[in-house]
Chain A
Amino acid sequence: MKVSFNELQGLSRKAFLALGFSDGHADDAADMVAWMESFDLHGLEALNNGLAHLMEEDPDALPHILYQDGDMAVVDGQDLSVLRSSNLALELAFAKARARGLSVIKIRRCRQRQLIMGYLARLAGRGMNVTAFWRNAQKPLTEQVIGFRANSTVPSIRVYSVEEVPEENEPNNGITVIMANHVDLLPTMRSDYRYDLLAKHEESDLMAVRERAIANGIEVDPALWERLKVLAQKTLVEASDASRLGAGPT
């Protein structure tokens, strides 16, 4: 079925509220999902895959700063979805980059990492060059890098597999993000090591996808849509004759 961007954002927001997100975090999480889906980057699929875990997460758990100095921070994502744990950690990196010109933040132990892209886009829109890097799998070793130019909310994305696996190849469920005030951080593939490019999304292609989504609507899985609606329903109050009076007599 097709839905509008606004519908997707609105229903997602209500679903996140039902999952115990605060208003601000529900806004951000809904924006992140809808942003990805509008670029056909499978935001809903990522959400669907992680929904069961999201429903079990402690809504009051906070990402914890393990280390920070003027230029960098390491944050423990507490095994939470990036929908819960990344926005403020990224704002911390943004503040450091503004103050020092460049910052690095590592968010360790986080889930649904693809979905972080929407918030990175938001920071890029505020004039920050941003790049994010993480490993998707260990065997074969695949890596993903996403870059945004300052003031552009459309990314360049590369996903590739590395053939020469380094000795140190421990599972890594973290993300490394670099922000810089003045320097482009776009992913340009240059390496003496051998790699296979698995996916490549250029800004121009993604912009065209986005325009089509706004013009024609966004295709969603009806089963997932229904699942979100059931969740969203939990934010609503049962009706009664007395509650109907709460909207004023007719």
Chain B
Amino acid sequence: MMDLPPNTNAALQALRPPSVVMALERLGSLHSSRLSFARSLIRQMARQRWHITCERFALNAQGHGQAIYRIQTPNNRYHAVIFAQALDDELRSDRVIANAWDITFGLVEGDVEDSLMASLAENLPLQEAGRQHPSLLVISRANKSERNFEQFVDALASGHQPDSKLLLDAGYLYRTTAVYGNGKFGIADYGRLQSNPDFKRPFSAQMTVVYLLRHFAVAQIEHIARCRAPKKAVALHPELQRYMGIGNSTGLGMAPFLINHPQLIDRWITAREQSLALCKLQAPTELNRRQLVALCERARQYFAETKVDDTHQQHLNDVVVTEMDSVLPWLEQVELTDTLWQALCDWAEAALSVESQELLHSLLMELYPSLVDPFEDVMSVQEKQELHPDMPLVQLKQLIETHFDWALAENFDEPQSCYWFWYRSVEKEEPRLGVRGQDPGVEKELALAVAPRVQRCHTAIEAFLTDNPRVLTIEFLMANPRFMDTVRRIQTMAATSYGEIRANLWHQDMKPMHLLRTKLSFLGASRFDPRSDRWVRVTFFQGAPLVDELNREPTDLASFDDWSFPLAPTLRETTATTTIRDTIDTNTSIHTDTSTSTSTDNITCAEEHDESLL
């Protein structure tokens, strides 16, 4: 259990209602925050002095081959194993139904013996089609950003730094298309991670392997450039290394998770809301105010630099930029009172877009690490939906009317309320949407839409109570067994605040993109770049500290952690990079300093293994 800070009771009173927080459009406007899992992981790595070293770097001149990185934590040793292969352009696809990728990789618990390596070499490149080893905690694959990859290699081989503007359009060299954990295709079960002190936080093993891929990507392009022009090639500038993230392409496959894990979602949202409520209750100092102004300026610039093809998302980003222009004078002019943060949030709710409101919330949480960070340890939960068979049925009916009023309010007699149905395709079981009455497969519909299930259950309960007013829940279920899962869910989730996403997932106007962004924001994604209403590209770890910086065991952990909303570097001004905050949380300095960073371990490895090219 975490130690609750002062003001907790007041904060709990001030929590926003689920009707506001769990509206799908608001969830789909969330930004990453310091509670996002990518941020938590980097803090954990630095605090616990994780060391990452290259153990094998056996690539040919085209960058194809194998690499192994060792991750030493205080508790255990892990290895990231990476296979890079040649891939015909026509085979390169972000869809889950693809069968080949530029890179396949995984995270192994323990050492990689020869026999294990042979098994990995045989199966990892096959991904879903292989039988994966139980010592693998995570498997993943990634495709090149072809334009960035080639231009970066060309530039380095010709002795120049690539244009940083390339990273404004796509802030990465590689884009993952799936990152699998939890026993998929034979890898380790989630149960293994629950008792693992290194990876017991949600998705931390997945985030680790994505972070390692970023490191490998730099090593790989430097290696290719050196092979092309041994005397002329240069290493990638550390500022560019830092500004480079790892892309991720996500489709509807992520959507069922949000519905099928409501207790976990409740933990995530509750942690965020409680943190926010605590922050809003803090009496700001003048220094705090200046810190928030600096963060708003950086975020404004970040959104001004962000260019996406999707016109709607670009419009939303533009609105954020414009609205930050009104936030900044508000912050600078309003009298510094003890309730300034509450006043700011109230004003934002009345005057700003939902995206800007939630951005301000993420930024406000940056000011109080000591209040917010302890919540990262309460974002996991042992999920179990259980029946309360002895609950009087009339009480169950009341629970529905109190906690699922949003589901009862939907009119399913209207065609637009029943427009979509969800199903899984034979193609890698990909979740898809079909139009009811038009597309085939409705008889195999996935029970993802909670609202119609709850409403039907409520109707059946009302009818049963008419003849049996004093019965228990179990008696209703013995007569109506097909409502068992719905009743379990209602009874379980009625004890929580933020688990149920309040939307009709059948409705014609429902935007699946909002579901995807909800999870991606908690993972720590940035630069939301929708390719359609069901498909989005994002970036992870853009601006994050480099492996070399981590290995140098940073002492100023607050500074190390200050990498949200990164700005495009201007290389000539590298050493004069804007200092965002001089102090934060009373006495910790936050700034960016990568000017002395080098990628020595990459170079060393490449030199050691150049002779063993595949």
Contact = CB atoms under 8 A, between A and B. Distances in A.
Contact of A92 (B188, B424, B478, B484): B478
A239 B134 contact: no
A132 B190 CA distance: 30
Contact of B481 (A27, A62, A214, A250): A62
A5 B189 CA distance: 7
Given A92-B389, A92-B474, A250-B531, A243 B251 contact: no
A226 B94 CA distance: 29
Interface residues of B, number: 57
B124 to A, nearest CB: 16
Given A94-B389, A214-B192, A243-B439, A88 B426 contact: no
A217 B186 contact: yes
A7 to B, nearest CB: 5
Interface in A233-250: 233, 235-239, 242-244, 246-250
A22 interface: yes
Contacts of B186: 2-4, 7, 217
Q: Helix, strand, loop or mixed for chain B's interface?
A: mixed
A217 B134 CA distance: 6
A242 B441 CA distance: 12
Interface string A200-214: 000000000000001
A246 B434 contact: yes
Interface in B99-144: 131, 134
A1 B131 CA distance: 9
Contacts of A233: 426
B477 to A, nearest CB: 6
Contact of A236 (B185, B444, B482, B533): B444
B440 interface: yes
Contact of A23 (B425, B432, B485): B485
B134 A250 contact: no
Contacts of B424: 235-237
A169 to B, nearest CB: 32
B532 A249 contact: yes
B441 A248 contact: no
A221 to B, nearest CB: 15
B390 interface: yes
A141 interface: no
Contacts of B26: none
B474 A5 contact: no
A24 interface: yes
Contact of B478 (A22, A62, A214, A248): A62
Interface string A170-209: 0000000000000000000000000000000000000000
11 contacts: A2-B186, A5-B183, A6-B190, A7-B183, A7-B184, A22-B481, A22-B482, A237-B423, A237-B440, A244-B432, A250-B535
- Minimum-distance CB pairs A-B, first 6: A6-B183, A24-B485, A248-B534, A4-B183, A237-B441, A246-B432
